[in-house]
Chain A
Amino acid sequence: MLALFHYGFVLRGFEAGIIVALVAPLIGTFLVLRRYSLIADTLAHVSLAGIALGLLLGFNPILAALAVTVLASLGIESLRLTRRVYGESALALFLSGSLALATILLSLGRGFNTSLFNYLFGSIVTVTRGDVLTISVLAVIVAAAVAFLYKELVYITFDEESARVSGLPTRAINVILILLSALTITLSIPIIGVLLIAALIVVPVVAALQLRRSFAATIAYAEAISLFSVVCGMLASFYLNLSTGGTIVLIMLAVFLLLLLATSRRRGSTQA
């Protein structure tokens, strides 16, 4: 098994995978509990337009995706605040709009090629040295921001109105949360692919929530589930020659199902 890590690309893939596995549930906990799960999927589709733009113009696709996702996340938040459209409708507008833009850009660049396929579904082979560096920097930014704003984020997630009355700048913190989501999604692209990012952000958290623990413990369990699934998923996908993103997500869902069954039996027996 150790022979696997003699290949440079495998090592880079694992480095990137572990970083993503640790960062995604950190943001995911706040998004899931605020009923913002769909924002992950929307921003992922938006990032596809950025990738297409990058591929077309010859930029680094990840950096192009980052720029486009950050702009879109600010757009979604300001559209939501105008109250001219419902929150979910704002997401739907951005999701379909950016997907439309992506298909146009890709047809201009003469269609789907291999590297696009890798961005859609994720592959450890796609990860370059530059990607690992970019991902590391983004991960440090996200982790530091969550660490500094932890108590504020928890309060706003639980009870936004009381948080406002206690003088917290809730609007600014909401903008920061959505920006951090954009960063997290962009950095997850090379590993898991655009189409499955939402799962990486949402599923470990939903699985950890089944354990019914404190807020801090829920984040820790989500991290553990995510790390386990990503590492196992990458190993399995490499040996069995499967899609990396798909394997990771299926393992996560299996963990969720196991926890759901285990805890519902326990809860059922205590109620009886």
Chain B
Amino acid sequence: MPLAAAAVDHRDNIIEVSHASFSYGAREILSDVSLAVHRGDYLGIVGGNGAGKTTLLRITLGLLKPSSGAVRLFGQDISAFRQWFRIGYVPQKATSFDENFPATVEEVVLMGRFARRGLLRRLGRQDRAQAELALERVGLLPQRGRLIGDLSGGQQQRVFIARALAGEPEVLFLDEPTVGVEQAVKDEFYRLLRRLNEELRLTVVLVTHDIERMAHQAMHVACVDRTLFFHESLDDYFRKTHAEIHPHERRGQEA
């Protein structure tokens, strides 16, 4: 890890969440959460079911409006932010979409180019080239003509990564990407993320309850349980909180 940590630019906060709170009616999901993501970082956001980690991610991406607090993306307030192509997103849906949806792997990956190309513009040769490159990076170029529903779970997940990569993003957000996927596939998946972080200097923000699998991959860990406990390194995280977190994690793995 120290090797990769050298690539992080701590002066460049590409994502900043400050004092964000969120409530559903009277129930407070998040309380006064502040979080900064540096360029080149690989941040794991962990927490048990209902701890608010997905809510935090949705606030950061503008899918939910915080009850109070602010979000800045690449130095701009989220309400004024328009350069969405700088953000790649792999939704939870990556493991639970309509298997009968009539779209080829290539058609799905090309969706990742839409934000770059802009509204009403047709895709061109450059978009196809980037989609191919992204498919090559995740090792699925030979499958590009197949229907997404015909691939294995692990392959489908990599298609969604390729879709996010096709837009040439600077930061990649992943929401519980390994739910319902076999262990061996998970390990390979985390290795892929690590490689993207190191080779492409892609900033990675991963929301997961799967702390043990992620353990030797992420550089920083933020633990959400209604509010945020930020940890400088993974060792730090394990030293301080492994004992309390362990029950959550066991429950998560059985599910």
Contacts and interface: CB of A to CB of B under 8 A. Distances in A.
B42 interface: no
B115 A167 contact: yes
A7 interface: no
A108 interface: no
A155 B114 contact: yes
A215 B147 CA distance: 9
Contacts of B108: 158
Contact of B119 (A152, A161, A162): A152
B93 interface: yes
Interface in A206-249: 209, 212-218
B247 interface: no
Contact of A165 (B61, B104, B149): B61
B91 A215 contact: no
B71 to A, nearest CB: 13
B158 to A, nearest CB: 15
B87 interface: yes
Contact of B167 (A33, A166, A213, A217): A166
B111 interface: yes
A60 B154 CA distance: 57
A166 B85 contact: yes
A165 B172 CA distance: 12
Contacts of A148: 120
A214 B111 contact: no
A137 interface: no
A168 B149 CA distance: 24
Given A148-B120, A161-B91, A214-B107, A166 B114 contact: yes
B183 interface: no
B162 to A, nearest CB: 13
B63 A218 contact: no
Interface string B6-20: 000000000000000
Given A159-B111, A215-B107, A165 B63 contact: yes
A208 to B, nearest CB: 8
Given A167-B82, A168-B114, A212-B147, A162 B102 contact: no
Interface string B159-181: 00001000100000100000000
Contacts of A149: 120
B103 A214 contact: yes
B185 interface: no
A168 B117 CA distance: 11
Interface string A156-182: 001101111111110000000000000
B9 to A, nearest CB: 24
B89 A165 contact: yes
A213 B161 CA distance: 22
A165 B107 contact: no
Interface in B38-65: 61-63
A165 B61 CA distance: 6
A63 interface: no
Interface in B102-138: 102-104, 107-108, 110-112, 114-115, 117, 119-120, 122-123
Contacts of B97: 158-159
B107 A154 contact: yes
A84 interface: no
Given A162-B163, A163-B114, 7 more contacts: A151-B117, A159-B111, A161-B93, A167-B85, A214-B103, A214-B104, A218-B102
Q: In the A-B complex, list the 4 residue pairs whose CB atoms are closest, starting with the nearest.
A: A167-B84, A166-B115, A218-B102, A165-B89
Interface of A: 33, 148-149, 151-152, 154-155, 158-159, 161-169, 209, 212-218
13 contacts: A33-B102, A151-B122, A159-B97, A162-B111, A163-B114, A164-B63, A165-B62, A167-B115, A168-B115, A168-B119, A209-B102, A213-B102, A214-B104
